[in-house]
Amino acid sequence: ELFLQTAERYFMVGHRVTYYVFTDRPADVPSVPLAEGRQLVVLEVRNYARWQEVSMHRMEMISNFSRQRFLREVDYLVCVDVDMKFSDQVGVEILSPLFGTLHPSFFRAPRESFTYERRPQSQAYIPRDEGDFYYAGGFFGGSVAEVLRLTSACHQAMVVNQANGIEAVWHDESHLNRYFVYHKPTKVLSPEYLWDEQMLQRPPFLKRLRYVAVPKNHAEIRH
C-alpha cells in the first residue's frame, strides 16, 4: 500500500503508468486511488519456499510477462523491489534503453571489494580485472525489448547454474551485474534512486533520496 501511495505522489507524475504487481496473494493487494491514465495490474505468480528463489525467479517472471503482454502494452519497464517507498520525484530522467542503479553500499568502493560472483564455474562469474560498478538488483529497467534481453539472459544463466548445482553468491543481482559487464547500461543512476537509511549513513553530497527502504525485520521476512 505504501509503495503505491508514494508512487502516486512521486513516480512519473503526469505520465501514463501501469503498475504490474507480481504476487502469490492477489487478494491481499490493496485498493489505492490512482490518477487519470494510471492503472494497477495484479499478476499472480507462484510462491517459493526460499526467499533466494523468490528473488531469482523474478528474472523469469519479467521475461515471460514481457513476451506475453509488456511488449504490447508499455514502452519502458522500471523493475523495482516493492518493499520500498518513494520519497522524492522520480521522472523521465531515468529512462534510457537500458539503465542500472549504483548499489548504495558500493558506489564509493574500489572494484576489488565488489561482491561479484568469483567462481569461474558459475554463469555469473566476473573476473577480478573486469567490471565498472556494482549494480543493485532492486532498481533497473529500460525499453521492454532491452529488459526482455536482460531478464532472459539472466534466467537462462540461472537455469544452467541450477543444473550444475550452483547458486550465485547474490542470486539474481549477481547475474544482473554479469550482464551489465558485457552489455553496458546506456544510463547509470546514482544511489539516490535506491537507499536504505537504516543500514547506511547518508553522505552530505547526497541531497535527495528518491526511493528508500522501509524498516523491516529481514530475518523474520526471510524465514
- Flag whether 41 is marked binding: no
CB 22 within 8 A of CB 41: no
- Flag whether 57 is marked binding: no
Mark whether 173 is an active-site residue: yes
- Flag whether 81 is marked binding: yes
The catalytic residue among 8, 60, 173, 192 is 173
- Flag whether 103 is marked binding: yes
- Flag whether 151 is marked binding: no
Q: Which residues participate in the annotated binding site? A: 81-83, 103, 115, 173, 196
Q: Which residues participate in the annotated binding site for UDP-N-acetyl-alpha-D-galactosamine? A: 81-83
Q: Which residues participate in the annotated binding site for Mn(2+)? A: 81, 83
Q: Catalytic residue numbers?
A: 173
